[in-house]
Amino acid sequence: MGLTPRRAGVIGARAKHSPAAAGFLDRLEPFFAGAEVTAGPLMLAAIAALLFTNFGTAAAYERFWDTDLSIAFGAREVSHTLAEWIDHALLPLFFVVIGADVKRELVRGALSRRDTALFPLAGAIGGLVVPVALFFLIDRGATSVGWGTVVAMDTAFGLGLIAMFSTRLPAGVRALMLAFAAIDDVGGLAVIAFAYTAEIDWIGLAVAGMALGTMFLLHRLRWVASIPYVILALIVWVGVLESGVHATIAGVLVGLAVPVMPRLDHDAFGARVQKRIDEFQEANEEANTAADDDQAQAAEHRAADRLGYIQEMTAATDETSERVIAGLTPWISYVVLPLFALSNIRIHFAPELFAGLVSPLGLAIVAGLALGKPLGFLSFSWAASATGLARRPDEVSWMMVVAIGVLAGIGFTISLFIAQLAFGNGKEREIASLAILAASLLSGIAGWLLLRHIVRDRPA
């Protein structure tokens, strides 16, 4: 969630003009201008949704999101409300990024080696098991269908809070949070796929599977053009949607299909372009010293040809996953997640709703997220470390591990989504959503205070 180098330079220059303002913006900006999915627009949209649903505009506001939008092709027609289209058609883009991030961690990141992977892996397992156990212990079967709401954490908010202290925390804290979040996201997606899918159309899954297999085949054949991949990704989405499995799973599958290795490594790049660079320089000098226009034009054409070759070879050194994530991230941060919050947060504040916080469902969700996540992550990672199965990163203290576990209790986006799948539009959904918001607020404040305490005595 760190800022891009250019933005960091802007903040550094701004500090010369107004140190107080720059210090404030330096803390705030990671929520709105990060290189990855940012939490600021989502937070503002959530506040706006709460305002709209609790004032005189509530009926018209909800009626707007419940408006049907139909797409017809001949006799075939698909009809969903605007809110459902956001869930089915836009939210999968968010999960494409999650899938690509998970694959990158597995292939090249913190989960790619045993000694670096087992610590967050053990913690993530605890962060999945303990919250669910707490939920069932408190709920006692009253609303057991809602157990999935305590499974998933909100990566954007957690990383946003860590980014506020990024200059005074070791890099291992963010890496550990990412690794934990990657495994946690897999658990949340598995819950959506297997626990909240009522009926499966295997023909749709077969179509999606064939399209996904074709994507992998094109990768093996080193197919470069992006249009076939886009078409195949749409087929995967349609197949999963028709199967009855929620379309967000299509996003994960497409994300996992995105290559994380460049087509050309740096050594091969240097060997291939050096001759073309020399030829470009020769052609450029010839164009500048040509005796007539025809000779100059021919030299310029040769120079342009060599530049085109170098440009293509340079593009081949990029990771496809990086390009996909960079292209989707602004849309997810500023369009997809805010629209999801605006269309899905429907909490009507009333005394009886707040009373629902102390109902078995409300208490089970708050305890599962705010207590279960940190307890599970800390206990399982400590056990793995104590038995020698895993090793805590050297620069990361146990207090930092506790802070990461506390931040994992912020269960916003996916938790709200699972609440909608579990309860539909009934009163229980409102209680679950309010409990998720309460647990997220408690976890966010507690995590921020812990991080502030940790960095207090560290050099700036």
Q: What is the pLDDT of residue 9?
A: 60
- Residues with Cβ within 8 Å of 78's Cβ and at least 6 positions away in sequence, in order, are 70, 71, 72
Q: How far out from the chain centre does Cα 438 lie?
A: 22
Q: What Å distances lie between residue 52 and 62, 229, 287, 346, 448, CA to CA?
A: 9, 40, 65, 9, 28
Is the same domain home to 130 and 206?
no
CA distance 255 to 257: 5
Contact 407, 162 (CB under 8 A): yes
> Helix 114-139 and helix 171-195: axis angle, to 10°?
50
CATH number of the domain within which 184 lies: 1.20.1530.10
What are the tokens at 294? 């025809």
Tokens linked to 90: 């836009």
Question: Across the strands, what pairs with 81?
Answer: 68
Q: What is the pLDDT along the chain (460 residues), one digit of tens a residue?
A: 344 455 556 555 655 555 554 554 556 666 666 666 777 888 889 899 989 988 878 889 889 998 988 888 777 777 889 988 898 888 888 888 878 877 877 777 666 777 777 888 899 899 999 999 999 999 887 677 889 899 888 877 887 788 777 777 887 787 788 778 878 877 877 887 777 776 778 888 899 999 999 999 988 887 877 888 889 999 999 898 888 777 878 888 898 888 877 777 788 888 888 888 888 888 888 888 877 778 888 888 888 988 888 888 887 787 777 788 888 888 888 899 899 889 888 888 888 888 888 899 999 999 999 999 999 999 999 999 999 888 887 788 899 999 999 999 998 878 888 888 888 877 888 899 999 999 999 999 999 999 988 888 666 5
Domain count, the chain: 3
Last residue of a domain, one of 255, 283, 316: 316
Give domain status of residue 250, yes or no.
no
Q: Are residues 158 and 276 in the same domain?
A: no
Measured from the Cβ of residue 347, the count of other Cβ atoms closer than 10 Å reads 20
Task: Please compute, for residue 109, the number of CA atoms within 13 A of its CA located in the half-sphere on the CB side.
Answer: 22
Same domain, 288 and 212: no
d(CA 210, CA 198): 23
State whether 163 and 233 are in the same domain. Answer: no
Residues 294 and 428 in one domain: no
pTM of the model: 0.75
Residue 138 lies in a domain: yes
Tell me, yes or no, whether 52 and 159 share the same domain: yes
Looking at residue 369, what DSSP letter applies? I
What whole-number distance in Å separates Cα of residue 153 and Cα of residue 436? 11
Q: How far is CA 229 from CA 90, 216, 218, 220, 233, in A?
A: 18, 10, 8, 13, 6
Are residues 46 and 189 located together in one domain of the fold? yes
The set of residues, in sequence order, having a beta carbon less than 8 Å from that of 41 and lying 6+ positions away, is 32, 333, 334, 337, 338
| Number of Cα atoms under 13 Å in the Cβ half of residue 209 | 8
At 3 the pLDDT is: 46
Same domain, 41 and 74: yes
Describe the crossing of helices 114-139 and 373-386 by its angle, rounded to 10 degrees. 140
Q: What residues contact residue 281 under an 8 Å CB cut-off, 6+ apart?
A: none
Nearest to 435 by CA among 380, 354, 381: 354
pLDDT score, position 382: 94
17 inside domain: no
Residue the block writes with tokens 């913690």: 123
Residue 71 is classified by DSSP as E
302: Cβ contacts below 8 Å, ≥ 6 apart: 279, 283
260: helix, strand or coil: coil
95 and 70 both lie in a single domain = yes
The pLDDT assigned to 10 comes to 58
In a domain, 191, yes or no: yes
Write phi, then psi, for 399 (nearest 5 degrees): -65, -35
Whether residue 322 is contained in a domain is answered as no
The answer to whether position 72 is within a domain reads: yes
Containing domain of residue 227, as a range?
A: 201-245
- Is the C-alpha dihedral spanning 21, 22, 23, 24 positive or negative? positive
Domain contains 215? yes
3-class SS of residue 167: helix
CA distance 90 to 93: 6
Question: Is the domain of 233 the same as that of 275?
Answer: no
Instruction: Indicate whether 3 belongs to any domain.
Output: no
Q: How far apart are CA 290 and CA 295, in angstroms?
A: 6
Cβ(446)–Cβ(375) below 8 Å: no
Residues 349 and 448 in one domain: yes
Q: Could you tell me if 66 and 323 are in contact, meaning their C-beta atoms sit under 8 angstroms apart?
A: no
By CB atoms closer than 10 A (0-12, 13-18, 19+), residue 288 is: exposed
Residue type, 77: E
Buried b (16+ CB within 10 A) or exposed e, 121-141: bbbbbbbbbbbbbbbeebbee
Q: What does the alpha-carbon distance between residue 33 and residue 19 come to, in Å, rounded to a whole number?
A: 19
CB 326 within 8 A of CB 332: no
SS3 431: helix
246 φψ region: left (φ > 0), alpha (ψ -120 to 50), beta (else): beta
How many angstroms separate the CA atoms of 397 and 102, rounded?
25
Do 143 and 181 fall into the same domain? yes
What kind and span of H or E run contains 70?
strand 68-73
